[in-house]
A and B are shown apart, each in its own frame.
Chain A
Amino acid sequence: MRGLLLFTAVLFLFTVNSDPVQAFEPDEVLDDPALEARAREISKEVRCLVCQNEPIDSSNADLAKELRIVVRERLVAGDSDDDVKSYLSDRYGDFVLFRPPFNTATFLLWFGPLLVFGIGGIGLIFFYRGNKNLKLANPLSPEEETRLNQLLDENEKTKSSNSGETS
């Protein structure tokens, strides 16, 4: 059991029967610190299959412990990180990895954000173009232009005289 909104999660969804603190145990730790560090990194990306959205690294379920040991065994046997992950996903399916694979079924997932940004960006471009057209549609007549400049000049003058008075 984990998750920020503990209470919402607990409300009625998940039966909480795991001790939240357990996680990797001292007896599992590999002697080689480099291998152990890699094992920890992998364990954080592997899902405990019997828990609610929890990596095997922090789960205390028996299955998670077994998987942690499997990960370390594969590493000791000389597997690369990717080898270990594909070893696990071959046996337990993509569900076991927190990084979803990239394929036709997950195409929209990975490219969705870019798609949203792209559509939004194109929308913006059209919006600004519409703006420009709006501006061009109602140009000022020459008389309006001179009148506007006249007003602006007057405004400028009163402003400077005002500030002169107050300061």
Chain B
Amino acid sequence: MIAELGQFAIIMALLAAIAQSILPLIGAERLDSRLMAFGSQASLIQLLFVFLAFGCLTQAYIVSDFTLVNVAENSHSTKPLLYKISGVWGNHEGSMLLWILILAVFGAAVAAFGRNLPVTLKARVLAVQAMIGVGFLTFLIFTSNPFARLLLPPENGRDLNPLLQDPGLAFHPPMLYVGYVGFSVAFSFAIAALIEGKVDAAWARWVRPWTLTAWTFLTGGIALGSWWAYYELGWGGWWFWDPVENVSFMPWLMGTALLHSAIVVEKRNSLKVWTILLAILTFSLSLIGTFIVRSGLLTSVHSFAVNPERGIFILFLLAIAIGGSLTLFAFRAPSLKAGGIFSPISREGGLLLNNLLLSTACATVFLGTLYPLFMEALGGGRVSIGPPFYNNTFVPVMVPLLLLVCVGPLLPWKRADLIGVLGRLKYAGLATILAILLAWYVTEGGPLLAILGLGIAAWMLLGTLSEWADKIKLFRAPLSTSWQRMIKLPGSTWGMTLAHSGLAIAVAGMISTSAWKVEDVAVLKPGETISVAGTDYRFDGVRELVGPNYQAVEGTFTVSQNGEFMAVLKPEKRLYNVQKMPTTEAAIYSTFVGDYYAVIGDQVEDGGWTVRIYREPMVTWIWFGCTLMVLAGLLSLADRRLRVGAPAGKRKQEKREQKSQRNAAA
């Protein structure tokens, strides 16, 4: 009965979305305020019904209702409750429903927070947002119904893939989806602006918080996913240039570009056409990413035929969404008036160069991900594209971008003096040279490219910090003045400093762990010791464990350096009862300078155990840096100037300014 309620709810949500995508548009055209206001109501109704449907599916998972195909195929009665709930989106149908739920939440949020938006713009944004909803809801209802029933329900379910039975599943997909779907708001704003034929600084100020929200969550989602892969897969890798990763990375690259170009629209009323295009492209990449994974295209062109119904539907939706928006763009963009003029060497010029490099980087990933598909489709044979390709193409694009990260913010608007700006970075430059020498000394002359890479990271960090010190006049004014200046820095400035520093720290971690990772494999009997990179791992033996839905073998290692005890590592090897699939739970001892990572494998004939040990230098810096970037996004969001619907403070400030001006005049 509850499943039927869910079924009913998604159909009602579809009807609400259809009405929402048509009526407010007509209202905006005819300036009919009732029709325009309908957009807000409909978005709330849509959210209500989608939420109800999601609740129904969750209920079916919690009570293990195996009369539903979806639950029977992906759940099991002995599964722990956490994985019963997170298992709702651990499958195709459920994850589509989550996507739609987040889309509806964003739509309702625009309706709720957008009170001071111009009514026509708001109506159009909500209509476009609803159109996306219509596309996804029809896809869900007609090709991927999560509420389909089984005539002969099985006694128990087939369980969730053991690799997914991890707390990571509870957080990673929802965060990633908030990121993906969040860009839909920027997209809707862009389309609405094209329909209105008006883009101005106010428009950019409304778009930026939404883009920032999406970017923050996408950053967090990707970082969380890479951390999950790092500890769950059991061989210490954190990024594989896997197509599934790439499709989440592309919207991130484009979204980062969008975030930067929106600044130019907001502050200088320039680059409007380009920013609109970026908003369209960013969300298009989110769509391509979601759909390409869903359609099975990634494995091979041939697997597309496994479920042609879904595949064709997806292609059709992509063609309408991307083709339609780009066509609208081509027709309406020329009518948008160009804004302020600037020279190539200026803040705007720097941001534009940032956009060019990020777009090139994104195109590189796009080619690497989709080229094999095109080649195969055109009968050109099959090729594999892996890390060697990206090392040769992606990395060279990133190097200039990273080098310029700390230069751009120092450039003044409109026209800049590059020599002067570089002069302000002379201390950072000197310190960078020292950092390179230090890295060279510590690593005893390690690989030159890696040391130079660390130099780039140091330059980014030191340059960013020196720009910050410049801003608060650190050491050039009394400390109390610096303190005053510091606490007065706006949230978005803090966000920029923190995000760039986080990126520098993450890059340092990536380079170190790629260049100086040490791994070893051996067969050990209890009592034996293996030495990896100057650290001793004594294998103390194994014991059997019984989990809620798995059996496990747990090994114990005592880690020590020069006879000094450091940690005890207890890696597990699990066999899940239902799917009979073995998984490994690596044991990791994390420190500031690196991770000590142990994995236990199979027992061999003579009684020894296969043991894998990894030493990952500075690997946690990657996720620490990403955490800083997420914090930076949140800080920027908290900036009052960005918060739409919070103008009270600004008004107060203006009054204060007027008063002080009056005083000055008197």
Contact = CB atoms under 8 A, between A and B. Distances in A.
A2 B238 CA distance: 10
A68 B299 CA distance: 23
B388 A99 contact: yes
A7 B172 contact: yes
Contacts of B584: 19-21
B228 interface: yes
B91 A11 contact: yes
A119 to B, nearest CB: 10
Interface in B91-105: 91-92, 95
Contacts of A124: 344, 352-353, 356
A4 B244 contact: yes
A154 to B, nearest CB: 14
B416 to A, nearest CB: 14
B1 interface: no
A7 B172 CA distance: 9
A99 to B, nearest CB: 4
B493 interface: no
A62 B172 CA distance: 32
B390 to A, nearest CB: 10
Contacts of B381: 93-95, 105
B364 interface: yes
A39 to B, nearest CB: 13
Contact of A4 (B225, B234, B296): B225
Interface string B29-45: 00000000000000000
A96 interface: yes
Contacts of B573: 21
Interface string B655-666: 000000000100
B532 to A, nearest CB: 14
A13 B299 contact: yes
On chain B, which size bracket covers the interface? Answer: 35 or more
Contacts of B375: 105-106
Nearest to B383: A100
A113 B383 contact: no
Interface in A84-116: 93-101, 105-106, 108-110, 112-113, 116
Interface string A121-135: 100100010010011
B389 interface: yes
Contacts of B359: 116, 120
B164 A10 contact: yes
A128 B383 CA distance: 40
B356 A113 contact: no
B233 A2 contact: yes
Contacts of B338: 134
Contact of B383 (A55, A101, A166): A101
Given A2-B229, A128-B344, A7 B371 contact: no
Nearest to A134: B341
A5 B386 contact: no
Given A12-B91, A16-B581, A2 B245 contact: no
Contact of A21 (B173, B242, B364, B612): B612
Nearest to A96: B384
Contacts of A99: 386, 388-389
B240 A2 contact: yes
> Top 6 closest A-B pairs, CB basis?
A98-B386, A3-B242, A99-B388, A4-B245, A21-B234, A116-B363
18 contacts: A4-B244, A4-B248, A5-B248, A6-B168, A7-B90, A11-B95, A17-B581, A20-B235, A20-B583, A24-B521, A26-B610, A53-B243, A58-B237, A94-B381, A98-B384, A105-B383, A106-B371, A116-B360
Given A19-B584, A101-B383, A124-B353, 11 more contacts: A4-B228, A14-B299, A16-B581, A19-B582, A45-B387, A58-B235, A100-B383, A105-B383, A113-B364, A121-B356, A165-B664
Interface of B: 89-92, 95, 161, 163-164, 168-169, 172-173, 176, 222, 225-226, 228-229, 232-235, 237-240, 242-245, 248, 293-294, 296, 298-299, 303, 338, 341-344, 352-353, 356-357, 359-360, 363-364, 367-368, 371, 375, 380-389, 393-394, 397, 521-523, 573, 581-584, 599, 601-602, 610, 612, 664
